[in-house]
Structure 1
């Protein structure tokens, strides 16, 4: 089913590309002047420069310098190829609608569903459906666009429909359609970019496309990203062609283990005559990236290579003990030209010679030298500890078609993922955790700890909370308003609350021990005082292992940070139950104004899928009240005698409301329910039954109207383990019932708690 994700990860994909010429077209030849940026300079690297590792951002002044860089690095490291992976809506309208759950308010994110006016635009499989939804009871698909490969995401801006499509291998196609006639959308522009789609944002007239590309450098092969327009390759020299694409190429002065490009492209969708602009950043391995409304933050965490550490220790300790013949062999190996043996190959050959020496030692002598090697590794680790386990943050400003590097900063610890970063009111906030240096050196590690840093607009650290000892490793973090929430890994997860009311003094304000694993949190008020948590119901099995047995939602109250509470919770399903929320947070819908919660869920009982759809709740008197079960399993699937077939098309991927209607979308259906009583208004079939979307087996001896029946509030199904507060209520009692605040609560910001005593503020939530 869904891949279970206990942390939010958003990783990097990347694009290799063709280019010609000797100097960058944005520069005059032989130009080598520094480019001034705010608080930072971007040094330009020519063919003769040999950079040192300052962690600063530098720009190649010509393609010769870039080519020489690859030649040197590929000779030392072997192949420069590398693979990176993955990551992540809102439409302009005056109607009452629910924006899709986005990470940055005010910045439109590309998504699989968009809506505006009388239409919904939805991607499923290799198609885009345009659905007329007014009137709701007569909703219908009025046109379908079929793509040769799988479309990824879309934007709607005025009459422009922008579709991002995976084309060929490592290529993103950007297609713009004119929607003046929604029944017959017209393709008016098609662009192509080598690379893998990462994210896209819409801000004003500009679409920002973020791609990743791997690099497999070979002499004479293209060096930078290639772009096409209407099927024709764009020139990389804007001095000879107005319709061109000449991205600047930047280099982070850091140790490189592999090479990837992170590419930013700006496309004016209102003026197709404006040339597309872009920049490419040469990055190392996987790096978390946070995209704010006007800025992009790239991060890099330097890690310690345990193998290199060990080989360095061995060399220092035993090289002198090798025979003269063996020492000469090592000298000869290391003197070989890099194009004959690269650095990695040399290391392997030298290590083999030293390991052969160790293998021929006596037992006691071998034990003694291994102990010395371990001690030497620890010594080297301590010597390097000040320079490793740190995260470097690079800031790039987006301004229309222009990009501006604004500088970099460095903080202690390792970034978790993009949800561990946030920009608010001119401040950049980041949560980091202790980095690991491998099992061999585990005894040198201290208790797990976490850090919170606050940086101003110039990337100066103005506030910090360091070495917060949590006893358990932090695996998730989220910034909500002026608070940060840190979640740890074990079954009884302490949820730590960090107050950021004073950006210069982040403080531990409290902690709540939760008996289960909440992996996704969503604020239900503007101040972040109350949160909904979604996670797994964790239990010990007979063998003592902790396993997820069903899903759990919780309502938390952090109004009084010194006394946080779990107000209510509910448990659903059995082993194997899951939610798409854990891998796609846009699938979650909550509206305080409508008092509406839509939870996409797949439930299993006794290893059989019994429900795939969305559970609809109100929150009344600080309790979850189950209002409706919107089922996306087709009737044919329920009545089929086939068992355990694929059910992915029945997963609810998006929920949203427009005016008085709630919409739930899966590949199978677009279902429309009235917000007045949640009665079904329209069930629009998007994919006809194909005989292979079977969910639940037929249960013998059931009444005809209950074959395949699911989720009735009984002890065996939905209410197995569900808390007393989750109840069915009459339909005429539902929407717009406000969630009552907790009587007598008030916001109290504590003084800064000593980091060693964070556990003292721990509050046990009630056990059920």
Structure 2
């Protein structure tokens, strides 16, 4: 059976899979068609959701040959010797991949590990708030995440194309006081830290060597650079630019920990036929090629691409503090208080075409980035919440999909793995929830919770107190599923997902669930609220869109419904929770999202602000729910 026949069989088998209606192509198309225009982030978000759930895009995964056991490869991540070595590597990868299915690695392919060199001729690589206010909903406490909207105790900062609007809140009586115009094509994310504003964006690359390169060897990223600008905003009427640093490639994500910004990007190489300039196959930082000894190579690299990690001290942003690039294709990240984990999906051709995930671990400390280990586990991760670091161990849950070519059978099952600080396997639970996949996960100390789904929603609770012998404590089966889990109290866990009709298996609407986890062996859904008028919310897939403060007993999110195929309506909904009354609707307001814009909720003092990019900001009194004012923020 050749590769094409195998892929055709996978496609045919996948037609029988049940994908939740909310994520079906029709619903996604409705979401897109109901808007007059779209922005880059939302377009990529929906494309990613569709691609992830549609099994027929399997051949976009990297096929990697490994045995059935989890293999640690931390002893074979080495620095490159020089640029010629890197160039030869990419030529070998290209030659190999061009002879087979694009992006797929044969089980017979190998590439010898490049030995570490002492050559350093190309350069060394060592290099009290006054008012209560909310912050971005993040996965790890103390590890801030960039977003399109930020706030402090007095101001709201919102992105707007290549501009940033600064709005003084004044107890809900808002006023636009300043607009920062950047030279970016668009702004990806921003941060606020005291009197420092960090702006991460994308702009055109004016490098002569790039624009004159007719072969376009390095692909689309040659024409753009990631621009990170640091502003002094101590005087809101006279904002000053401190410095801007740049890097070639495609921005993926970032984190801010204390005074250091850590940025993650991808740099892809295409069509290397002949050596031109280093800019064609080496990432550039501030118009300088990354030193070769900062480029790390695993033993069997699959794709001609890098994951680039840089750090920047935002209080003194003269240059990058440290930089590392590894030849890998990962573009998803989990960052703990001490370590960075890069993960990417693979496709194991040898083991019945089964899914795998490659994990690469770096430590970080005061801006210094150090490669630690790499590993391959069975299955793919739903998102970064499927990973958690605790007591130096990494806990994760994965969904294993496989296609047996001998019988043409497609199967799914799920596993939990615990890896030590060297990414060595020390504990596992396998073969969980057959024919289902993981929809959400949350780790809370010695207990883990994860949701799988096909027709009902099993919420599993796992005892992780002994990492060498994890144990399933309980399994709660209820209709529907939760896509996002958030601890709401010491004994409560909030779920945001979809309700499913048990008879027809059709989606009814967005569901809010509150689980009592006081006894992890007997988890109970003590309250639920079905919003049957709404069939979609960004909260299902992007945790940063969820506004939540358990101390104030309030959470909120934007929800979308459809009156017919072409007409959608949008509301921002907020709720509190009462153990006796259940979910209590608080502030609810209509949104005019004609431009497919993102919406965030936040509070400053006793005022709730609902910010819609390109549209405006509404303010409400948190006690009375009365609307205070509204300010328009034009897209122009």
The TM-score bracket by the shorter chain reads 0.7 to 0.9
After superposition, where does 1:544-693 map in structure 2 within 5 Å?
Answer: 546-574=505-533, 577-607=535-565, 611-622=569-580, 623-633=582-592, 646=594, 648-649=596-597, 653-667=599-613, 668-687=615-634
Unaligned segments of structure 1, at least 5 residues:
11-38, 43-55, 84-91, 238-245, 306-380, 635-645, 691-768
Q: Secondary structure at the match of 1:98?
A: coil
Q: For the structure 1 residues 300 and 607, does the alpha-carbon distance in structure 2 shift closer, same or farther, using more than 3 Å as the test?
A: closer
- The aligned residue for residue 73 of structure 1 is 93
The CA deviation string for residues 474-502 of structure 1, in whole angstroms up to 9 with x for no partner, is: 34433233322232231322222222233
C-alpha separation in 2, matches of 1:539 and 1:455? 38
C-alpha separation in 2, matches of 1:303 and 1:531? 34
1:95 aligns with 2:139: no
TM-score (norm 2): 0.75
- The aligned residue for residue 145 of structure 1 is 180
- The aligned residue for residue 140 of structure 2 is 104
- The aligned residue for residue 254 of structure 2 is 200
Which one of 443, 448, 464 corresponds to residue 428 of structure 2?
Answer: 464
- The aligned residue for residue 742 of structure 1 is none
The CA deviation string for residues 214-261 of structure 1, in whole angstroms up to 9 with x for no partner, is: 112342232210122xxxx23656xxxxxxxx77111122262x3221
Q: For the structure 1 residues 570 and 442, does the alpha-carbon distance in structure 2 shift closer, same or farther, using more than 3 Å as the test?
A: farther
Q: For the structure 1 residues 661 and 8, does the alpha-carbon distance in structure 2 shift closer, same or farther, using more than 3 Å as the test?
A: farther
C-alpha separation in 2, matches of 1:175 and 1:510? 49
After superposition, where does 1:286-297 map in structure 2 within 5 Å?
Answer: 286=330, 288-297=332-341
Q: Secondary structure at the match of 1:93?
A: coil
After superposition, where does 1:367-378 map in structure 2 within 5 Å?
Answer: none
C-alpha separation in 1, matches of 2:100 and 2:130? 51
Deviation at 1:428, TM superposition (A): 1.2
Whether contact under 8 Å (1:73, 1:80) holds in the other structure is: no
Whether contact under 8 Å (2:133, 2:152) holds in the other structure is: no
C-alpha separation in 2, matches of 1:553 and 1:412? 32
- The aligned residue for residue 415 of structure 2 is 451
1:173 aligns with 2:227: yes
1:277 aligns with 2:277: no
Whether contact under 8 Å (2:159, 2:187) holds in the other structure is: yes
- The aligned residue for residue 405 of structure 1 is 371
After superposition, where does 1:420-439 map in structure 2 within 5 Å?
Answer: 420-437=386-403
1:124 aligns with 2:71: no
Deviation at 1:93, TM superposition (A): 3.4
Q: Secondary structure at the match of 1:448?
A: strand
The CA deviation string for residues 662-682 of structure 1, in whole angstroms up to 9 with x for no partner, is: 121112221221122121122
C-alpha separation in 1, matches of 2:74 and 2:497? 45
C-alpha separation in 1, matches of 2:100 and 2:409? 33
Task: Flag the structure with larger Rg.
Answer: 1
1:506 aligns with 2:470: yes
Q: Secondary structure at the match of 1:524?
A: strand
Whether contact under 8 Å (2:311, 2:320) holds in the other structure is: no
C-alpha separation in 2, matches of 1:662 and 1:80? 56
Q: Secondary structure at the match of 1:407?
A: strand
Deviation at 1:152, TM superposition (A): 0.9
C-alpha separation in 2, matches of 1:289 and 1:81? 27
C-alpha separation in 1, matches of 2:633 and 2:293? 41
Q: For the structure 1 residues 511 and 156, does the alpha-carbon distance in structure 2 shift closer, same or farther, using more than 3 Å as the test?
A: same
Whether contact under 8 Å (1:295, 1:397) holds in the other structure is: yes
- The aligned residue for residue 77 of structure 2 is 57
Q: Secondary structure at the match of 1:167?
A: strand
Q: For the structure 1 residues 142 and 82, does the alpha-carbon distance in structure 2 shift closer, same or farther, using more than 3 Å as the test?
A: farther
How large is the Cα RMSD of the aligned pairs?
Answer: 3.2
Q: Secondary structure at the match of 1:69?
A: helix
C-alpha separation in 1, matches of 2:312 and 2:259? 8
1:525 aligns with 2:569: no
C-alpha separation in 1, matches of 2:153 and 2:102? 44
C-alpha separation in 2, matches of 1:416 and 1:597? 23
- The aligned residue for residue 208 of structure 2 is none
Whether contact under 8 Å (1:108, 1:203) holds in the other structure is: yes
Deviation at 1:163, TM superposition (A): 0.5
Whether contact under 8 Å (1:6, 1:475) holds in the other structure is: no
C-alpha separation in 2, matches of 1:523 and 1:250? 38
Deviation at 1:9, TM superposition (A): 6.9
- The aligned residue for residue 384 of structure 2 is 418
C-alpha separation in 2, matches of 1:474 and 1:604? 27
Unaligned segments of structure 2, at least 5 residues:
1-30, 33-45, 54-71, 104-127, 205-222
Which structure features the higher share of strand residues?
A: 2
- The aligned residue for residue 191 of structure 2 is 155
Deviation at 1:128, TM superposition (A): 0.7
Whether contact under 8 Å (1:4, 1:583) holds in the other structure is: no
Q: For the structure 1 residues 75 and 110, does the alpha-carbon distance in structure 2 shift closer, same or farther, using more than 3 Å as the test?
A: same
Matched positions, count: 527
C-alpha separation in 2, matches of 1:69 and 1:683? 57
TM-score (norm 1): 0.63
Q: For the structure 1 residues 301 and 665, does the alpha-carbon distance in structure 2 shift closer, same or farther, using more than 3 Å as the test?
A: closer
